[in-house]
Structure 1
C-alpha cells in the first residue's frame, strides 16, 4: 500500500514508548521496505480504492472487450460517469478535486452519447473496444472511490487525502488517454465533437490534483507532532480542533468523541487487513489524539493517571549522569548527538561551534559541524524522569497550602512555575484534587495569594475543557472568582482572564452570567483604563452573549451591542424576546441616546409590519421609551420614521386590542420630546391637510386614551415656533368648536388636553370665531375648571382662554363678574401654595384676565378686585414676578390709578371746639383728599411708586412702558403740580429722563409726553433741564416725526430752541 503520510515522516518518527524496544534504524528500514512492497502491489492490482469494509476493492471486472458490443461498453461508461457525477456531490473530503473530476465527466458524457449513436452494434475492430473498455473501467473506479469517500469516517479520509487525490489524478489522466484512443476520425462524427474530444483529452491528461490547503496543513502538523514526539494535551486539543475544521464537523465533545471512535474502528479494520505501515502510523496518531479532552473522559484519564502514579514511589529521583550536558553540567532539554556519537545540549554545542571549535569537547576528535541528530531516546528518558519527579513533588505540596501566608505564597510560586513548565504538570495538579483548595484560597485576605491563585487557575483551564468543568463543579468557585472583579487592578485583570478562559465552555457561561453583579462589573471594566482587562472583559461578554438571558442582563447594565445584534439578525423568537426586554427595561437618557445612535430604531420599526400583535405592542412600547429622550424624538421626525406609526394608528384594529392606544401614546411622546427642545426647525409630522384632518377626526371616533394622546400631540405641535400654519389649519377644520365641546368631557385627562389645545388656538385666532364659539355655558365650564381642577396647567390654559376673549364684549365681562370669578382669579395670585412648574403661568394668566376687570370704565369690578387684596399683591409682583407678571401688574396698577382722583374722599371740616374734634385726616399729596390702596387705589398709599420707578431701568421695553404709563397717571390734569412734586421727592424724574435713551421709539414718545408736562413747571425745568438736554438734542437729530417734534417742544420749554424752530 501507499504509505498514509510521507515516507520521510514515517521513517523519522519513532514508535510509542511502549513499542520502542527495537533499534529505531531497523524500524525505519522495515517501514520503508513495507512502503515499497505496497507500491509494487498497487501497480500489480491496477485500479484500487478504499473498499466498503476497509479492504482494498477493485472496480467491477470488465469482460473481455472483444466479446462485448461497442455500444454496450460505451453505455457502461456513460452510466459510470453519471454515477460518479452524482457521487461526487456527497463526498466528505476533497470536494474541490471531486468537483473538478465531475466537471470533466460532464463534458465526456455528450461525446460518448454521440459516439454511441454513430457506432454499429457489431464490433468492427479492437481499437474502439479497447478504448471503451479502458474508459469504462477507469470511470467505474472513480465512481467507486467517490462512493467510498462519501461514507467512510471523515478523520480516516482526511489522513488518506493524499492517496485520494493521487487516485483522482491517475483516473482523470487514464480517462483522458482512453478518449485519445477512440477512433473518432473513422466514425461519422461532427468536427465539433472531434475537436471537443481532442481538447478534453489534452486537458485531462495534463490534469493535476492536490489536497486542500487546510488538509495539507493538518497533515503537516500531525507529522511534526509524531516526529517531535509532542504528546502535550494542549497540542492534541488544537490538532483535533484543526481536524474538525478541515473535515467540517462540529467541535462539540460528543460529536468529536463519536467521530474518533469510528476512526479507531477504521484503524482496527486496517490491522485486520495486515496493512502494517498504515496501522503503525495510525496507532501513533490515535495515541496523540487520545490525549485531547474530547476523545476520552475525565474518569478514563484519572484511572490512567493513578495507575501510573501508584507505581512511582514517594521520593524524587536524582538525574542519571547521562542526563547532564558535558558542557553546561545541567540536565539537558534538547539532547542532540554529534558525528562522534557524543550527546550534548543543542544550544551548548551550537555555541561551541559558533566559537570556532570543530572538535568534540569530550574526545577532541574532529566533528562534522553540520551534523546534529536528535537523541530521541535520551530526550524521552529525561522527560519521563522529570514527569515522575514532578508528580511526586506536586502530590506532596498540597498540605502546605493550608499553612500561614508566607508558606502558601512560596508553594504557590513553585506550583505556578511547574504549571508554566509543562501541560502534563497542570494535569497532575487537577488529578491531585487541588482545585477545591485553590478556590478556597480566593477567600484569603492576602491579595498576593489571590493573584497567584487566579493565575494558576487560568493556567489549569487553558485549552482544557475538562478542567474548566472541574472548576465549575467546585462549590462557590465562580462566585469567588467574580468577587475579585471588584478588587484592585491586578486582581481584577487576573479574574477577567480566568473567567474568559472558563467562558469558552458554553455550559459555564450560564453559571458566570447568573452570579449577581458579574455582568455589571464586566461592563464597568470595559470602561476602565486597563486596556488588557477591558479587551478581555469585552471578549468575555461576547462569549456570555451565547445565552439570551445574559444578553438581557448586559443591556440592563448599559451594554447594548449583543442585544442590538439579536434585534438586527437574530431569529424571530429571539427578536421578540429582546424587544420585550427592551420595552420593560428602565432606561436612562444616556442609555436611550446610546441605543438610538447604535441603530435600535430600524429593527423596531420593521417589527411593526409583523402580524403578531404582541410583537407590535412590544416594539411600540420600546420606541415610546426611546423617544422620551428629546433628541431621539426629534430625529425620528426628521427621518420620517413616524409615518409607520401613523399608518398603524389609522388601521382598523379590533377594539379589544390596546395597540392603537400605545401607538397614539408613542406619537405623543415623540412630538412632546421634540417640542421640548424648542428648535426653530420646521418639523413635518403630518405632511398634508388631509392627514391633519384625518388625525384630528379620530378625537371624535376613539376612546379617551387615544383622544388624550391625539389632543396632546396637536398641543405639542402648536407649541413649536413654526406652528402658526398648524394653528390656522386646525381653526379652519372647526377645531375650536370641537374642542369647546371636549372641555365638558367626563375624562379629566381628555378635558385637560382639550382646554390646553383650545388655549393655543385662541391665542392668535379670529375674534369673530371666539365670539361665536364661546357661549355663556362655555364660560361656566371654564370657570368651573378654574375653580375645581387640580391640574395647574389646565387651569392656566383656561385662564388664558378667558384672557384672550375680546375686551369689547362687555357681556362676557358681565357673565364672568356675575359668576363671582374675580376673587377666584385673585386667589391664584395670592395663593402661596403654588409651587409647581406652572405657578408662573397661572399668575401671569390670572393677571392677564384681571386686566379686563380693572379698567376705569368698570368701577364695580375694580372695587371687587381691590377688596380682594389685589393691589398689595400687584406691588409685590413688581419686584418679584416674572417679566410678564411685572408688565401685567404695572398695567393693572395703571388702570386702578386712573380712578384714584374720583375715589379720593375730600377732607371733612369739623365745627365746634378743636379740643373735642377727632384727629385731622391725612391729605394725599397727589389727590388732595383722603386716599387708601383699597378704596381709592392710590399708588402713593400702596407704596407702588418706588417699585414702578425701578422698572424704568428694565431691559424689557414693554415693562418700562407699562411702568411709565402707571406713573404718568400721577400727573394727569390738575394733578401735574402735586404729582410732579411726588415724583421729584421720590427721585423719579431722573429715571424718566434716562428712558429718553431707549431704543424703543414708542417708549421714547411716552417719556417725552411725561417730561413735556413736567417741564412746564419752572421748578423742575431748572432742576432737570440740563440732565434732559443732551438726550433731547440727540432725539431731534436722529429721529423723525412726532417724537422729534415733541423733543423740540421740550427743548423750547428749556429755552434751547425758539418757538418758531423748524423742528416743530
Structure 2
C-alpha cells in the first residue's frame, strides 16, 4: 500500500489530503463490491465517503499545525489500507469461508470505523484554520463513526447457530447438511446448481488445507468441524464417490449384528437409550426416564443414592454418538442382508421385511440412501405386481419415501421395467392403495425427467381424470396436481380434466377398438368407485359394450367384461338394469361352460349373480316384478352347482339363494327349492367344517322350513341332522348361525317321534340355555330367544304331562314369566302359548287339601289351597299360573300393539276362567286389573282377537257382580260390533248384549 501513500511535507499539505481522499474513495469502491456483509460494508462506505469529502474540502485551507497532523494522516492512510485489504478479501476469497467468518468481518469493520473516527478527531480546531461550521461537521462525523454499530443479518445468525448445533450434536443427517449448504449459497450468491456449490465447497476445503491461510489452532479445529459437518451433504459428493465410500464401509463391517454395549442401556428403563443425559453422579440415563424419576419426588441417584438436581442433567454427546454409530452399523448390515428374504415366495416373510425397510426409511435419510445403494428400488417396484394388497401398499409407501425430495431416485423408479405401469394400476384399487399410488405419482411427476414416463402409460390420464371427479377430496386433490404437472406434455389432458364426468372413459369404452375397450373395461373392473359413480356409468351407457364383450368368442374378453360387471353390479339399481337387459342368460351360460380355462371366471360370475339377487330384494324390483330366476329349471340348474363347486363358490351361491328367498318372489323360490330336494343338500352342508359355507347352508335351510310345508323336508331330517343342529347351537360362536339352527328346530314337525328325538339329543337343554342366556356366547340377537321360546312350546303340550314335568323341573316357568315383561312381541306370544299349555294341566295336577279330622286344627294349621284350582299348587308340580305370578304379566301383554301376543295371552287367561274355575278365576283376573284391557280388545282391528275377547267376556258376564260392574263400559263397543263385525263376532256380541239386558232396549240398532 506504500505506493498509494504520498511522502508528505509541510510545503504541500493540500496534495497529501487529496491523495488520502482519493485512496479512501478507492476503498469505498472496493467495499461496495464485497460479496458478503453488503449492508454493513454499505454503511461503512458511507462513513468513508463523508471522511473523504471532508479531507477534500480541508485541502482547500491552510492548516496551522500541519507538522503534527502529518503523522495523523500517515496513520489514517495505514488504517485505510487495512480497510481496503479487508474489502478486497471479502470480494475475492472463498464465499463459504467468508460467510463462516461473518462475525470476524463485522468486528474488523467496526474496529476500522472507530480507528478512523479516533484519527479524524485529532484534527482539532486549534490545528485547523477553518470556520466553525466545518469544525462542527468534523465533530459530527467523528461522533457518528464512533457510535456506528454493525450487525449480522438474522438469516446469517440463524445459519451460524445451526452450524454450531450441528457440530455439537455430531450425528446430523445429510438433509441437515444439504439445507445448510443451500442456505449459505443463497446468502452469499452462489448458484443453487449442485455443481457450483460443490466447486465452492472444494475450494473452501483447499483453502483450509493451505497452512499459510490458517490462523490459530482454535480456528483450525472449528473449520475442520465445519468441513466434516458440511461434507455430509449429497451435493458435495458425486454419486460414484458416495457409492465407493458406502461399500468400503459396508464391506469392512462383516455380516453379524453387534449386541449393544451395557453402557447403552438406561438403568431405569432397561432399554437402549435415545437421548442419554449424564447426572452429577457420573451415570447416564434416558432423559425422559430420569426426569420422571425426579418429578416423582426422588432426589437421589437410582444407582449411587447420591443427591441429584434437575439442573445438573447434561447431554452425554459422546455416548449418544456411540449409540447412533452402533445403530447405523447394524442398520447397514440389516439392509444389506435382507434381499433374499424380500424376494422370498413366503408372503408373511416379505411383509415383515417391508415393514423393517419402511422403518429404516422413515428413520433417516442416510438409511434411504443405503437402500438405494443396495439396489432395492427395482426389487420393491417389482412387488407392485403381486396379488397381496398389503405388500403392494407397503411397497408404494417405501417408494414414496425414497422418491420424496430425491430426483435421482425418481428417475430410478421410472426406469424400472413397467414400474410406472404398476403404480398406475394401483390407482384403480382399494382407496388406501389408490391414495398412496397417487401420492407417489405426484412426487414422481415433479421431476421433468419422469413426466414422460407417466404420461405414456396407457389409461393413466383417464384414471386421473376419474379420480379428480371422485368423492374422495384428498384423492381428487392429488390427482389434479398430477394432471397439472403433466399438462404441458399433452394439452388434451386439460380438456379431459374438464370434460363431463367419466366422459372420456365411456367414449373409449363404447366407441374405441376392441383393444381400447379392453383397457377401459379393466379400468372399470379395478377402480374403487362410489355407488353414485357406478350408477352414473350405467346411466351413461357403460352396460351395453360390456354385454357385447360378454358374448365374444375370446375368453379374455369375457373375463374382463365379467370383472367389470362384478364391480358395477354391486349397486341394486345397476343389478336391476342388468336383469332387464337380459344379461343373465349369457352369464348363466358361462357358469355351465366346461371349456373355460380361467379358474376365477366362474367364481366372478357367481358373485355377479349374488349381487343381482340382492337387487331383487329392493322395493323397485317388487313394483316392476323383476325376476332373476324365471323358471323352475333355472332354480334347479343354479342350485345344482352348489354340490359341484368348491367352498368359495358354494358360499356365493348359497348367499344368492338367501337373498332371492327374501325377495318378493321368495315364496315361489322356497317352494321350488323344497320340491327339488334342496334340503337334502343343505343337511349335508350343515355338517361341514367350513364355517362360512355351513352358516349360509343353515340359514337357507331355516328359510325353507318357515312356510310349514313339512312334507317336503321332514324326510331328510334324521337323527344325525338333529344332532348336528343341536351341536351348532351349543358350540357355534356365530349368532346368525345360532338363530337359524334354533329356528329350524322350532319349525320341525311337531309329531311325537320328532319331539322325542329332540329331547333325547339334548335339545331341551340348549333351548333353556338360550332362554336364560347361560350359553357361552357374549351377546344374543333377539331372534335367538324368539326361536327358543317357540321351540320350547312343542314340549309344553298338555297331552304329554311327562314332557311338561321335565320342562318345569328345570326352573323354566319363572324364566318364561320374566320374558313376558322383557321379551320381544314374538317371544311374548310363544311364551304365552307355553304358559297356556302348562295351565291346561293345572286342575288335574293340583293336589286336594287333606281333611285331617275334627281336632287337627288344634295341632296343625290347615294348608292354604289355590283359589282357582282349590287344591295345593306349586309352580313345578301343578304349573299354576297364580303360583308363578304370571297373571299380572299376562294381563300386561294384552296392551301389546301386535295381535299375536294378545291372543296368546287371552288363551292363557281363558284357562283360568273355565268351568268351575270361572267365579274365582275372574276375581283373580280382576285383581290383576285384567278386565278393562280385555274390554278394550273389543275395538281391535284383528277379527280373531276381537272374537277371542268376546268369548272371554261372554264367560265373565255370566257372573252378576261383574256384569253390573263392567257391563256398561262394554256396551258401545258391543253395539258397534253388531253392526260392523264378522258374522261370528256379531252373533257373540248380540248374545252378550242380551246378557246385559240391552238387546230389547236398543232393538233399533239391529
Name the TM-score, length of structure 2 as normaliser: 0.49
Name the TM-score, length of structure 1 as normaliser: 0.47
Flag the structure with more relative contact order, 1 or 2, with Cα contacts below 8 A and sequence separation at least 6.
1
